[in-house]
Structure 1
Amino acid sequence: MPRPEESVVRLRDVRVDLEGHRALDGVDLDVHAGRLTAVIGANGSGKSTLVSVLAGLRAPTSGSVQRRPGTAVALVAQQTDGSARLPLTVTDLVTMGRWRERGAFRPLRRSDRDRVAEAIDAVGLARLARRPLGALSGGQRQRAFVAQALAQDADLLLLDEPTSGLDDASRRAAASALRVATGRGAAVVVVTHDLGELGEVDEVVMLAEGRIGASVMRGRSLENVSSVEG
């Protein structure tokens, strides 16, 4: 796990062209360990493209992306109704988060099982741990995927609108779980449309037409900067 405040990923003059459109244009960004960073902006501003670059899923057209050596990344994308058809329980899904470290076919250690239980509890699903995903609400399934990411103990946790459409209880549980991750030193980046759903954050990055228009509002509640996006 990186040291607090250490840069986990550094973007310099990053440009991404998609089908003739410049999705990111000259982006400079440092993502630090132990910080919760919210990324905001209108639809089409480049938020999801930024996440894909940070995750290493998309190479920039130009510019540089530097990652701390050995950085492990966990990505939570927006869920679809198809996740309800997965023949898995909550525990099954979250246990898959340990595969990066243990492999898919090696038995779990007691410490792995404890980590899975802790991640499920962090998102408030302990009483539903044995419930099939198909028996959960959409918000509960999304929280289960957040728990899976937590169980990976990744250095960089990326979430693309993880609380979109969730009820208040699910939002609070997800936000609390993300603080668990930053508390152990992970860098957490969350794309969001709702500036109030995460409570206190360490940084806010606002994207507009592929460029960073404003950033760094450390230690302030998102509810206090709700005018930024509008």
Structure 2
Amino acid sequence: MKAYKTIYKHGHFIDLESGKRLIPIQNYEYTITADDNAFNEVDNKLVIKDPQNSLEQEAHIISKHGVENCVNILEKGTQLFFRIGNSRSIEGDESRQYIFTCTLLEDLYLFKIKGKSGEENKHWRLESCVCELDACLLGDLTISERVRGNSLSNLFDKTVQFYFSNQRSASLNAITNFYMYNPDMDIDFYSAANQMYHSIDSKRAEIVNELNGNLIDR
């Protein structure tokens, strides 16, 4: 059994004797002793704005893009899932890939890019939407923090940084890599990695086709 006198700086425990960073190994137990006021209950780096109610959000998005240039595609409370595959593993990792579910805490909107006709899928992009990590479905990771993001891309970024720092890129195209979820689905890594589920991109295509059909009818 070893004991260290450490100081916590910039997200790391530094051994005061050697000046080196202590690198814990996953699944080992550690006893930490410190002053009563040495811990926070909230990680300020993860705090984001509170979700808006639907009316507030709709008014904000319409004022930003114009009523003809935005469309609500998913209601708050909708569950999605996404895959994280790590190019690097560390000692104690349960898996090199994981599948997580998340919940929209605000409605999800598409907005039309300025100057575009809206006839093509790529003319429409995702607006920001507060969302929260729910659970790890595959990969056997225990969720210690229900990470929140102010967009789906931001949620993916924060999940990578929180659970898999320096193990993969934190960037992702959310519209093609977040999928519609229900508890009765059979989900596997291969199908998620090869984008074989009903994605937000598929939902966007449905909405764009519907919008263009309505325009033709007029």
Please tell me the TM-score bracket, short chain as reference. under 0.3
- If asked which structure has higher relative contact order (CA below 8 Å, sep 6+), I would say 1
Q: Which structure shows the bigger proportion of residues in helix conformation? A: 1
Rg bigger for which structure? 2
Q: Which structure shows the bigger proportion of residues in strand conformation? A: 1
Q: Please report the TM-score for the alignment, with normalisation by the length of structure 1.
A: 0.24
Q: Please report the TM-score for the alignment, with normalisation by the length of structure 2.
A: 0.25
